[in-house]
């Protein structure tokens, strides 16, 4: 017996919808096996991982806090990936956005103006966009591979942040901890509701997702993104420039990653420290694909991936396993999403040895 | 089907009920075929009739879904091209599998036993190529060779295995008439040695000229088996196409108007090592005129199209003028706004995005020239899908585009129907200049005649048309003037009546404006065609 993949005559709409759900189910089954192998009760472990965080108001706020950067970054990345530009360095653009956005509160802690917050956000966007501009420049000028350049720039950004908070930006009154002064109250992104910690970053994420969805669905620019992503030659025939699209997609995704960075630092941390992200920039890649590179789908997948972060923390507390399990779940999920997508274009056939011999006569 | 034992035994290869399914689609269904030793057997059929699928099964590239292959009386399965070669089947594909950066001998060595020393291969190849009248330098780099010479490499490579059956897939589609004649001599020599040839073609004249028997395929089924010498081209065409193909009608008395497209001394450097440079190209095309540019593939046609369309603008603005305006540095949409329109050669991924719907593919070429009709919302440029859907429907009706569903993906249309859509998309704008590269390449006969008629009608209505084509029959059918492109140089245009097929063939082979070759008596293409 062998398994054969047969190309479908047309894309299966059923499986376009079903494939992410199927991937979720398979991830849960994989997780259950994992917990069982660790000697835990799979049922209660999965419950504390995926259900418990959804039952309380404060944890729903945490969910929004974690989902905000994931969604913001992933919708930007979806534009990149749709246009065939592979920005892998959102983590670095997030970090640089956090740094440039924090310049004002760190250097002018005495400036108490309502102008400071909008300026910080704009500077965060600009920082992220400019940092993404480096791989764009290298790609358009020297034809370098943006996957490599954007990824390598992540480590530069992280080490730069590390140096800043241990060196020039360190709080002199901070007992030698590597972190800046806490931001003045005007520089803190406020909470959306009185009931919890969720800040306006989540609103930015929803607005960005809806705006980019509108662009992709109804505007010529969205059409341009899709054409150039599928065929550069046809794009040139339409009069679109692939080179300009590199800039557009990298600047948009870098800018949104930068906005996510400053929102995270200003809204949920309140100062700058060496570690400001549990890998949002990389997890957002999974979010983008799980959401089928559709900005509205990304809102849903962003919430799912945020849940794996929360679940990891919860599982560490309640059943005593490492929160690294959340990374395992993210990996499982990406693996199953990509493999289930095969079903959209192919149908699986089991070929038995007997029937083949018959066919060959 | 029953065949007598003796008939099967006498056949080199016989095929019974061979079927290949791709999903629900039967590319070949119940094919029967017998090839005798020492015969040249034609496999005739239009594009998409299943010829390539059939020979891929015979060469072990594809596995049949059903049916039987009998080789010299023994039923067997051919699991891979390697097995096919062992049996004594050689194949020359339509699309060559050669590495351009390697030499001829190195390319041949790749398909042979790795222990054979290169010098020996080169020696054998040289002697074989001499014996069969296929002159070839084993140490030449493939990138420097013409398409005809590349084909010789493939043939020599197949001959080195000492095959009993050689399969040739559309071998003359890339050759000049003279190169084709040379190939035919080689085939006759193979035949005289008792080898068999399976000759795949859709060119009826040459099949009648060289083949002993013919099997005709249509929609994956055998629709006829005959001696092509007993048939007329018309009767063969009927078997191939199923219905009579509408003849293209041309009104000979179209008055020419002003110059619409003016190219002066255009020189463009090659963009890549394997591209062709354009050298001092000049042409003027007037309203009502169809200038056909003949030439063998890879002589600068696509580079010329890129420069004319503005996809790759040229440095000097004055080299190209569209309706009197210098546009050398203007991009494709700027030229479209002046009334020019373009149909590139490659449908998938150039003229159209296969993974997008027809309406999206309409917008692809017309987002700027029809900005007012198809976009709204000022700078936001919101796509007006209602207007685009109406225009798509109109085009599909006008060009008789057959499709499944209201708005299918472009990639799901057959080659002919997609080409009708792509041409119709431009005709719908009523352009004053239309530049088409290979308008009916790989298109079925019905669609081809419709497209050619549309081009003639467009010129008649006062537009200037440039048709870049390898198909000489097509050129004689539509052109008012003919120029020939060879190695990036364009000849002077000649009125269609003043050129013989032979003269064009020589020009295509690179002999330019040479006055030592006297023009044959001005003769109509029909006269030169019919033997």
pLDDT digits (tens, 9 = 90+) for B402-456: 887 889 889 888 778 899 999 999 999 999 999 999 998 877 777 888 999 999 9
Enumerate the residues of chain A whose CB falls inside 8 A of the CB of residue B346: 233
Enumerate the residues of chain B whose CB falls inside 8 A of the CB of residue A238: 332, 364-365, 367
Can you tell me whether residue A7 is helix, strand or coil?
Answer: strand
B63 to A360: CB separation less than 8 angstroms, yes or no: yes
Domain boundaries, chain A: 67-291
Residue of chain B whose Cα is closest to the Cα of A10: B412
Question: Average pLDDT for residues B290-305, to the nearest whole number?
Answer: 90
A223 to B365: CB separation less than 8 angstroms, yes or no: no
Give the minimum alpha-carbon distance from B178 to chain A in angstroms, rounded to a whole number.
35
Q: For chain A, how far is it from start to end, CA to CA, in angstroms?
A: 17
User: Is A354's pLDDT higher than 70?
Assistant: no
Q: Are B152 and B136 contacting, i.e. CB atoms less than 8 angstroms apart?
A: yes
Q: For chain B, how far is it from start to end, CA to CA, in angstroms?
A: 36
Residue of chain B whose Cα is closest to the Cα of A233: B350
- The whole-number pLDDT of residue B430 equals 93
Looking at chain B, the whole-number percentage of residues with pLDDT higher than 70 is: 91
- The whole-number pLDDT of residue A9 equals 66
User: Is B521's pLDDT higher than 70?
Assistant: no
Torsion angle in degrees (nearest 10) through CA of A164, A166, A167, A173: 120
Provide the mean pLDDT of chain A. Answer: 90
Q: Which of A126-135, A335-344, B232-241, B387-396 has the lowest mean pLDDT?
A: B232-241
A220 to B409: CB separation less than 8 angstroms, yes or no: no
CB of B345 within 8 Å of a chain A CB? The answer is no
DSSP letter at A307 equals: H
Q: Are A294 and A82 contacting, i.e. CB atoms less than 8 angstroms apart?
A: no
Q: Are A347 and A6 contacting, i.e. CB atoms less than 8 angstroms apart?
A: yes
By the 10 Å C-beta count (0-12 exposed, 13-18 middle, 19+ buried), A353 is classed as exposed
- The whole-number pLDDT of residue A125 equals 98
Q: Which of A30-34, B380-384, B515-519 has the lowest mean pLDDT?
A: B515-519
Q: How far, CA to CA in Å, does B143 sit from each of A264, B130, B134, B135, B274?
A: 56, 21, 18, 17, 7
The ipTM (two decimal places) reads 0.85
Can you tell me whether residue B399 is helix, strand or coil?
Answer: helix
Enumerate the residues of chain B whose CB falls inside 8 A of the CB of residue A359: 64-66
User: Is B179's pLDDT higher than 90?
Assistant: no
Q: What residues have CB less than 8 Å from B82, skipping those under 6 apart?
A: B60
- The whole-number pLDDT of residue B380 equals 85
Length in residues, chain B: 531
User: Is B399's pLDDT higher than 50?
Assistant: yes
B367 to A361: CB separation less than 8 angstroms, yes or no: no
Give the minimum alpha-carbon distance from B151 to chain A in angstroms, rounded to a whole number.
28
Question: Average pLDDT for residues A49-77, to the nearest whole number?
Answer: 92
A281 or B230, greater pLDDT: A281
Nearest to residue B431, comparing CAs of B342, B310, B324? B342
Q: Secondary structure of A245-276 in the HEC alphabet?
A: HHHHHHHHHHHHHHHHHHHHHHHHHCCCCCCC
- The whole-number pLDDT of residue B519 equals 42
Residue bearing tokens 């794009």: A235
User: Is A32's pLDDT higher than 50?
Assistant: yes
Provide the mean pLDDT of chain B. Answer: 85
- The whole-number pLDDT of residue B514 equals 42
Q: Which two tokens stand for residue A204?
A: 């930015």
User: Is B526's pLDDT higher than 60?
Assistant: no
Residue B365's pLDDT band, with cuts at 50, 70 and 90, is very high
Enumerate the residues of chain B whose CB falls inside 8 A of the CB of residue A360: 63-64, 77
Q: Are B203 and B172 contacting, i.e. CB atoms less than 8 angstroms apart?
A: yes
Locate CATH 3.40.50.300 in chain B: 5-241, 258-339+433-441+462-531
A230 to B353: CB separation less than 8 angstroms, yes or no: yes
Write the CATH number of the domain with boundaries B5-241: 3.40.50.300
Question: Average pLDDT for residues A127-145, to the nearest whole number?
Answer: 97
B4 or A68, greater pLDDT: A68
CB of B32 within 8 Å of a chain A CB? The answer is no
Give the minimum alpha-carbon distance from A298 to chain B in angstroms, rounded to a whole number.
22
Tens digits of residue pLDDT in B222-243 = 888 888 888 877 777 777 766 6
User: Is B214's pLDDT higher than 60?
Assistant: yes
Residue bearing tokens 């095969």: A342
Q: Are A233 and B349 contacting, i.e. CB atoms less than 8 angstroms apart?
A: yes
Tens digits of residue pLDDT in A328-338 = 888 888 889 88
- The whole-number pLDDT of residue B356 equals 94
Can you tell me whether residue A322 is helix, strand or coil?
Answer: coil
Residue of chain A whose Cα is closest to the Cα of B359: A223
Range of B15-29, B103-117, B481-495 with top mean pLDDT = B481-495
Looking at chain B, the whole-number percentage of residues with pLDDT higher than 90 is: 43
Range of A75-84, A302-311, B343-352 with top mean pLDDT = A75-84
Residue A269's pLDDT band, with cuts at 50, 70 and 90, is very high
User: Is A190's pLDDT higher than 60?
Assistant: yes
Give the minimum alpha-carbon distance from A359 to chain B in angstroms, rounded to a whole number.
5
- The whole-number pLDDT of residue A345 equals 81
Of A219, A226, A361, the CB nearest to B68: A361
Length in residues, chain A: 361
Enumerate the residues of chain B whose CB falls inside 8 A of the CB of residue A237: 309, 311, 332, 342, 344, 350-351, 364-365
A223 to B311: CB separation less than 8 angstroms, yes or no: no
A&B contacts, CB < 8 Å = 79
Residue A53's pLDDT band, with cuts at 50, 70 and 90, is confident
Of B23, B64, B367, the CB nearest to A238: B367
- The whole-number pLDDT of residue B3 equals 45
Question: Average pLDDT for residues A59-85, to the nearest whole number?
Answer: 95
DSSP letter at B272 equals: S
Can you tell me whether residue A180 is helix, strand or coil?
Answer: coil
Give the minimum alpha-carbon distance from B443 to chain A in angstroms, rounded to a whole number.
20
B356 to A226: CB separation less than 8 angstroms, yes or no: yes
Enumerate the residues of chain B whose CB falls inside 8 A of the CB of residue A234: 349-353, 364
A233 to B356: CB separation less than 8 angstroms, yes or no: no
Q: How far, CA to CA in Å, does A278 sit from each of A91, A240, A291, A308, A310?
A: 10, 38, 20, 12, 12
d(CA B135, CA B167): 20
Residue B53's pLDDT band, with cuts at 50, 70 and 90, is confident
User: Is A45's pLDDT higher than 90?
Assistant: no
A237 to B350: CB separation less than 8 angstroms, yes or no: yes
Strands B433-437 and B340-343: parallel
User: Is A353's pLDDT higher than 70?
Assistant: no
- The whole-number pLDDT of residue B528 equals 38
A10 to B409: CB separation less than 8 angstroms, yes or no: yes
User: Is A356's pLDDT higher than 70?
Assistant: no
Of A219, A220, A227, the CB nearest to B353: A227
User: What is the reported pTM?
Assistant: 0.78
Q: CA geometry: angle at B91 spanning A356 and B213, to 5°?
A: 95
Tens digits of residue pLDDT in A20-29 = 888 889 999 9
A84 or B524, greater pLDDT: A84
- The whole-number pLDDT of residue B5 equals 47
Question: Average pLDDT for residues B83-110, to the nearest whole number?
Answer: 86
Residue A254's pLDDT band, with cuts at 50, 70 and 90, is very high
Is domain B258-339+433-441+462-531 annotated with CATH 3.40.50.300?
yes
Enumerate the residues of chain A whose CB falls inside 8 A of the CB of residue B64: 359-360
Indicate left, alpha or beta for B183 from its phi (over 0: left) and psi (-120 to 50: alpha): alpha
């Amino acid at each position: 017996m062998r398994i054969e993949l047969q190309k479908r005559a047309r894309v299966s709409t059923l499986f376009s919808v079903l494939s992410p759900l199927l991937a979720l189910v398979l991830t849960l089954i994989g997780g259950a096996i994992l917990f069982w192998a660790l000697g835990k009760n799979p049922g209660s472990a999965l419950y504390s991982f995926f259900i418990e965080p959804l039952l309380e108001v404060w944890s729903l706020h945490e969910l929004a806090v974690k989902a905000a950067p994931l969604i913001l970054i992933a919708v930007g990345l979806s534009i990149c990936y749709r246009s065939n530009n592979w920005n892998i360095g959102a983590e670095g653009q997030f970090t640089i956005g956090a740094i440039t956005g924090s310049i004002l509160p760190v250097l002018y802690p005495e400036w108490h103006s309502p102008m400071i917050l909008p300026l910080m956000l704009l500077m965060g966007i600009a920082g992220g966009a400019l940092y993404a501009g480096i791989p764009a420049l290298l790609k358009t000028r020297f034809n370098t591979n943006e996957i490599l350049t954007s990824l390598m720039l992540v480590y530069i950004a992280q080490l730069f942040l590390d140096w800043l908070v241990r060196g020039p930006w360190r709080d002199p009154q901070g007992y030698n901890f590597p972190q800046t002064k806490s931001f003045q109250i005007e520089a803190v992104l406020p909470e959306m509701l009185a009931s919890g910690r969720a800040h306006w970053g989540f609103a930015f994420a929803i607005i960005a997702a809806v705006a980019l969805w509108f662009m992709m669905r109804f505007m010529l620019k969205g059409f341009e993104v899709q054409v150039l992503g599928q065929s550069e030659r046809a794009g040139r025939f339409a009069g679109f420039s692939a080179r300009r699209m590199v800039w557009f997609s990298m600047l948009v995704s870098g800018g949104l990653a930068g906005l996510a960075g400053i929102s995270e630092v200003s809204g949920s941390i309140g100062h700058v420290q060496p570690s400001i992200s549990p890998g949002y920039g990389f997890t957002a890649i999974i979010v983008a694909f799980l959401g089928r590179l559709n900005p509205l789908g990304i809102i849903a997948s962003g919430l799912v991936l945020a849940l794996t972060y929360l679940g990891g923390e919860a599982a560490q507390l309640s059943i005593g396993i490492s929160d690294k399990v959340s990374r395992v779940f993210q990996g499982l999920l990406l693996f199953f999403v990509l493999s289930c997508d095969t079903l959209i274009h192919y149908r699986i056939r089991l070929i038995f040895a007997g029937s083949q011999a018959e066919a060959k006569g | 089907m029953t065949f007598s034992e003796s008939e099967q035994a006498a056949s080199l290869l016989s095929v019974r009920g061979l079927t290949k399914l791709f999903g629900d689609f039967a590319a070949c269904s119940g094919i029967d075929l017998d090839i005798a030793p020492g015969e040249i057997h034609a496999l005739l059929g239009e594009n998409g009739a299943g010829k390539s699928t059939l020979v891929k099964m015979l060469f072990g590239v594809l596995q049949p879904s059903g049916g039987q292959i009998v080789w010299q009386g023994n039923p067997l399965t051919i699991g891979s091209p390697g097995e096919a070669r062992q049996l004594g089947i050689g194949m020359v594909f339509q699309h060559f599998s050669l590495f351009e950066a390697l030499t001829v001998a190195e390319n041949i060595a790749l398909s042979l036993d790795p222990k054979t020393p290169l010098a020996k291969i080169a020696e054998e190849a040289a002697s074989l190529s001499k014996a069969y009248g296929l002159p070839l330098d084993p140490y030449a780099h493939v990138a420097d060779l013409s398409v005809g010479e590349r084909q010789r490499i493939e043939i020599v490579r197949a001959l080195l295995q000492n095959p009993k059956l050689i399969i040739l897939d559309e071998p003359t589609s890339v050759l000049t008439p003279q190169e084709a004649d040379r190939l035919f001599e080689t085939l006759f020599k193979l035949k005289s040695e008792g080898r068999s040839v399976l000759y795949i073609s859709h060119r009826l004249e040459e099949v009648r000229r060289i083949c002993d028997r013919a099997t005709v395929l249509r929609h994956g089924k055998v629709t006829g088996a005959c001696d092509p010498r007993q048939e007329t081209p018309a009767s063969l065409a009927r078997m191939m196409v199923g219905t009579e193909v509408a003849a293209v009608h041309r009104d000979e008395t179209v008055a020419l108007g002003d110059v619409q497209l003016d190219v002066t001394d255009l020189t463009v450097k090659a963009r890549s090592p394997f591209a062709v440079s354009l050298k001092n190209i000049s042409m003027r095309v007037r309203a009502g005129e169809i200038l056909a540019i003949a030439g063998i593939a890879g002589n600068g046609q696509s580079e010329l199209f890129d420069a004319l369309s503005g996809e790759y603008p040229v440095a000097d603005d004055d080299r190209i003028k569209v309706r009197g305006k210098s546009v050398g540095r203007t991009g494709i949409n700027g030229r479209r706004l002046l009334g020019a329109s373009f149909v590139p050669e490659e449908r998938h991924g150039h003229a159209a995005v296969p993974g997008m719907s027809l309406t999206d593919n309409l917008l692809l070429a017309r987002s700027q020239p029809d900005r007012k009709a198809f976009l709204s919302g000022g700078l936001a440029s919101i796509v007006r899908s209602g207007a685009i859907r109406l225009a798509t429907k109109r085009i599909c009706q006008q060009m008789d585009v057959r499709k499944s569903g209201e708005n299918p993906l472009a990639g799901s249309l057959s080659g002919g129907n997609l080409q009708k859509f792509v041409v119709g998309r431009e005709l719908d704008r009523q352009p004053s200049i239309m530049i088409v590269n290979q308008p009916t390449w790989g298109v079925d006969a019905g669609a081809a005649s419709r497209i050619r008629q549309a081009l003639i009608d467009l010129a008649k209505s006062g537009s200037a048309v440039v048709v870049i084509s390898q198909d000489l029959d097509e050129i004689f059918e539509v052109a008012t003037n003919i120029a020939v492109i060879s190695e990036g140089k364009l000849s002077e245009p000649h009125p269609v009546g003043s050129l013989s097929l032979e003269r064009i063939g020589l020009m295509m082979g690179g002999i330019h404006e040479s006055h030592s070759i006297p023009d044959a008596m001005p003769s109509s293409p029909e006269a030169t065609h019919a033997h």
